[in-house]
């Protein structure tokens, strides 16, 4: 049985109050690990350790030291990639293929930020000859990093790599449903020669996250998760006006025009909606289809859904695993029923698959709700499960208005062969990412984040590093002389 501990001030330790939590397999509800369940008190000692480390010799590290550190982490991720991928699949239920892809992306994220950090040199500004004026980037300080359960280590990497690369100290708090890969990652960190307190792991629930958000000794909090917790973190952060980064939910329209390649668009629509059983913040869960191809598109989807192989993520033939928790399973079923009650047509799915192996665990059929209209709640609220809704639209304006009429703004996609239309739509859609004739790709080089209620700030890309820095204007007068402004 895997047992996890907290890692604070360079030492593995048990929570002060001795708390533990059973970690369940989403595939069969068996206990796969016992995780340390920290509390506010543990978060406080981790914050104090991170504060001391930030104010100590860690501040003297050079960009070369920190770039080397990120590259060393990437090498350790590569070394343990298979073990990490297996832990991620065990804990989240996602297929091993998906977890292996995640580990590759995580190592790439560390390498990308290593390169970026190494190229950081500040700027010398134009100024009078007796003055040296420089623009410098400095670390923000102590960073509280809070991550969700759907991409546990990937989301952590998007925060840890730029935070350490910029010279901050960190306390990471993964979701208490999925702490296993972040715990293993911390073992890799412990192999490296980092000063005590630079990297701290405090597993636990919302109270640990709340402490990170409220503490006046934390300078920045970066959170990925739902709107409810995001709102409370934003309010808590006002105590010391700490920097905040919020990556929140989405309701992402996947808009298919009649001139698109129908079979390709259907194929991608499946990937957009059912990859990782739809538990993706950018899932294409809201299909919008032009009127003239609507019936054909829905029919093609309906024909494909029963062929999706649902099963244990460790089996090679599995295409879709279970959802992650009992709570999520219940919520998704409730939302499907509510959608039907408000007039959506259940074309396929909406229940637990049949068969003995699916009776334990959090299994759901891929689900298609058709004839959805923009005013229905099912078209507006994030489902975060293997459910796609289909709406019809009659014109480009119609599609645009309905797609933008959501509090969210994370991602959208457009399918058309008309480049002018593709360009018009991608400019007019109010979303942080707009794909044309594709779905889901992201790169460390490109920014990730949402408009409106999908978040504040961006991760990845140069801006993803800049968010962990303060900008300083350093002005040095080399030959000060009396000014005489107020006379002699």
- 126 labelled catalytic: no
Cβ closest to ligand NAD, residue 13 vs residue 232: 232
Q: Which one of 17-25, 121-129, 209-217, 338-346 is the stretch in contact with ligand NAD (CB under 6 A)? A: 209-217
Total residues binding ligand NAD (CB under 6 A): 32
Cβ closest to ligand NAD, residue 225 vs residue 386: 225
Nearest-approach distance from CB 17 to ligand NAD, in angstroms: 17
Q: Is position 38 an interface residue for ligand NAD (rule: CB under 6 A)?
A: no
Nearest-approach distance from CB 321 to ligand NAD, in angstroms: 16
Q: Is position 226 an interface residue for ligand NAD (rule: CB under 6 A)?
A: yes
Q: Which of residues 398-457 bind ligand NAD (CB under 6 A)?
A: 410, 450, 454-455
Selected from 382, 391, 396, 467, the binder of ligand NAD by CB under 6 A is 382
Q: Is position 249 an interface residue for ligand NAD (rule: CB under 6 A)?
A: yes
Dihedral sign computed on CA atoms, order 28, 33, 38, 42: negative
Q: What are phi and psi of 76, to 5 degrees?
A: -70, -35
Nearest-approach distance from CB 341 to ligand NAD, in angstroms: 23
Cβ closest to ligand NAD, residue 172 vs residue 266: 172
Q: What are phi and psi of 468, to 5 degrees?
A: -100, 20
**CA 107 remoteness from chain centre:** 16
Q: Is position 173 an interface residue for ligand NAD (rule: CB under 6 A)?
A: yes
CA distance 439 to 365: 22
Q: Is position 215 an interface residue for ligand NAD (rule: CB under 6 A)?
A: no
Q: Is position 94 an interface residue for ligand NAD (rule: CB under 6 A)?
A: no
Which residue of the chain is nearest ligand NAD when measured via CB? 209
Cβ closest to ligand NAD, residue 21 vs residue 137: 21
Cβ closest to ligand NAD, residue 289 vs residue 388: 388
Catalytic residue among 211, 247, 290, 382: 247
Residues paired with residue 131 on neighbouring β-strands, in sequence order? 477
Q: Which of residues 452-481 bind ligand NAD (CB under 6 A)?
A: 454-455
Cβ closest to ligand NAD, residue 268 vs residue 384: 384
Q: Are strands 367-370 and 253-256 parallel, antiparallel or unpaired?
A: unpaired
Cβ closest to ligand NAD, residue 173 vs residue 392: 173
Q: Is position 379 an interface residue for ligand NAD (rule: CB under 6 A)?
A: no
* Residue entry with tokens 């093609």: 300
Q: Is position 43 an interface residue for ligand NAD (rule: CB under 6 A)?
A: no
Q: Is position 19 an interface residue for ligand NAD (rule: CB under 6 A)?
A: no
Q: Is position 148 an interface residue for ligand NAD (rule: CB under 6 A)?
A: yes
Residues 150-169: x where in contact with ligand NAD by CB under 6 A, - otherwise, as a string: xx---x--------------
Residues paired with residue 369 on neighbouring β-strands, in sequence order? 346, 389
Q: Is position 237 an interface residue for ligand NAD (rule: CB under 6 A)?
A: no
Q: Is position 247 an interface residue for ligand NAD (rule: CB under 6 A)?
A: yes
Just list the catalytic residues. Answer: 247
- Which residues here bind ligand NAD, judged by CB under 6 A? 146-151, 155, 173, 175-176, 205-206, 209-210, 213, 224-226, 229, 232-233, 247-250, 281, 382, 384, 410, 450, 454-455
């Amino acid at each position: 049985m895997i047992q996890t501990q907290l890692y604070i001030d360079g030492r593995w330790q048990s929570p002060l109050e001795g708390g533990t939590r059973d970690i369940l397999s989403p595939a069969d509800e068996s206990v796969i690990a016992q995780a340390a369940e920290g509390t506010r008190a543990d978060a406080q000692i981790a914050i104090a350790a991170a504060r001391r480390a930030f104010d100590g010799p860690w501040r003297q590290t050079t960009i070369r030291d920190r770039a080397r550190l990120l590259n060393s982490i990437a090498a350790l991720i590569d070394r343990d990639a298979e073990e990490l991928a297996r832990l991620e699949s065990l804990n989240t239920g996602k297929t091993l293929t998906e977890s292996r892809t995640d580990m590759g992306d995580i190592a790439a994220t560390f390498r990308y930020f290593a390169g970026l950090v190494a190229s950081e040199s500040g700027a010398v500004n134009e100024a009078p000859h007796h003055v040296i004026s420089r623009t410098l980037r400095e670390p923000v300080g102590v960073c509280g990093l809070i991550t969700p359960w759907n991409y546990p280590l990937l989301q952590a990497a998007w925060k840890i790599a730029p935070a350490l690369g910029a010279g901050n100290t960190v306390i990471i708090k993964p979701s208490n449903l999925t702490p296993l890969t972040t715990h293993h990652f911390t073992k890799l960190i412990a192999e490296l020669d980092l000063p005590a307190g630079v990297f701290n792991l405090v597993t636990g629930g919302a109270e640990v996250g709340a402490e990170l958000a409220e503490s006046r000794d934390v300078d920045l909090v970066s959170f990925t998760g739902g709107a409810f917790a995001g709102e409370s973190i934003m309010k808590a952060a006002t105590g010391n006006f700490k920097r905040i980064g919020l990556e929140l939910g989405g309701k992402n329209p996947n808009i298919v025009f009649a001139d698109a390649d129908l079979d390709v668009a259907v194929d991608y629509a499946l990937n957009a909606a059912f990859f990782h059983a739809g538990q993706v913040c950018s899932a294409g869960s809201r299909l919008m289809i032009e009127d003239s191809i609507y019936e054909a598109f829905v029919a093609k989807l309906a024909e494909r859904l029963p062929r999706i192989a649902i099963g244990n993520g460790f089996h090679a033939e599995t295409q879709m695993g279970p959802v992650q928790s009992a709570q999520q399973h219940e919520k998704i079923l409730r939302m499907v029923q509510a959608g039907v009650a408000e007039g959506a047509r259940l074309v396929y799915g909406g229940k637990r698959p049949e068969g003995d192996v699916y009776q334990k665990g959090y299994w759901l059929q891929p689900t298609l709700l058709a004839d959805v209209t923009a005013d229905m709640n099912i078209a507006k609220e994030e489902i975060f499960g293997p459910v796609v809704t289909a709406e019809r639209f009659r014109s480009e304006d119609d599609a645009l208005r309905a797609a933008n009429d959501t509090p969210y703004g994370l991602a959208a996609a457009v399918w058309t062969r008309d480049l002018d239309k593709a360009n018009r739509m991608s400019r007019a859609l109010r979303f942080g990412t707009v794909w044309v004739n594709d779905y889901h790709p992201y790169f460390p080089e490109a920014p990730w984040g949402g408009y409106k209620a999908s978040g504040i700030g961006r991760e990845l890309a140069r801006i993803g590093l800049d968010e962990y820095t303060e900008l300083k204007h350093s002005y040095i007068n080399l030959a000060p002389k009396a000014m005489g402004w107020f006379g002699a």
